[in-house]
Amino acid sequence: MTSETELIEQLKKGDEAAFRSIVEQWQDMVYNTILGIVQNETEAEDLAQDVFIKVFEKISSFKGDSKFSTWLYRIATTTALDHLRSKKRKKRFGFLQSISGDGGESVQVPDFHHPGVNLDNKERAAVLFKAIEALPENQKAAYTLHKLEGLSYRDVSEVLNTTVSAVESLMSRANQNLRKELETYYNRHYK
At residue 75, φ and ψ (nearest 5 deg) are -65, -45
Of 45, 79, 107, the domain-final residue: 107
Say yes or no: 141 and 99 in one domain: no
Spatial distance between the Cα atoms of 51 and 76, rounded to a whole number of angstroms: 6
Of 73, 107, 141, the domain-final residue: 107
Average pLDDT in the 139-152 region? 92
More confident residue, 11 or 100: 11
Question: For position 27, which CATH number holds?
Answer: 1.10.1740.10
Give the pLDDT score at 115.
55
Spatial distance between the Cα atoms of 100 and 94, rounded to a whole number of angstroms: 10
Of 107, 141, 156, the domain-final residue: 107
Say yes or no: 31 and 89 in one domain: yes
Nearest 5°: the CA angle 36, 173, 152 is 55
Say yes or no: 46 and 73 in one domain: yes
pLDDT, tens only, 14-51 = 999 999 999 999 999 999 999 999 989 999 999 999 99
* pLDDT(98) > 60: no
Say yes or no: 55 and 28 in one domain: yes
Spatial distance between the Cα atoms of 66 and 74, rounded to a whole number of angstroms: 11
pTM of the model: 0.74
Nearest 5°: the CA angle 28, 81, 123 is 60
110 contacts 38 by C-beta, under 8 angstroms: no
Spatial distance between the Cα atoms of 148 and 141, rounded to a whole number of angstroms: 10
Say yes or no: 65 and 44 in one domain: yes
Spatial distance between the Cα atoms of 182 and 137, rounded to a whole number of angstroms: 18
Euclidean distance between the first and final Cα of the chain, in Å?
58
**What's the number of domains the chain is made of?**
2
Domain extent at residue 44: 1-107
Say yes or no: 3 and 95 in one domain: yes
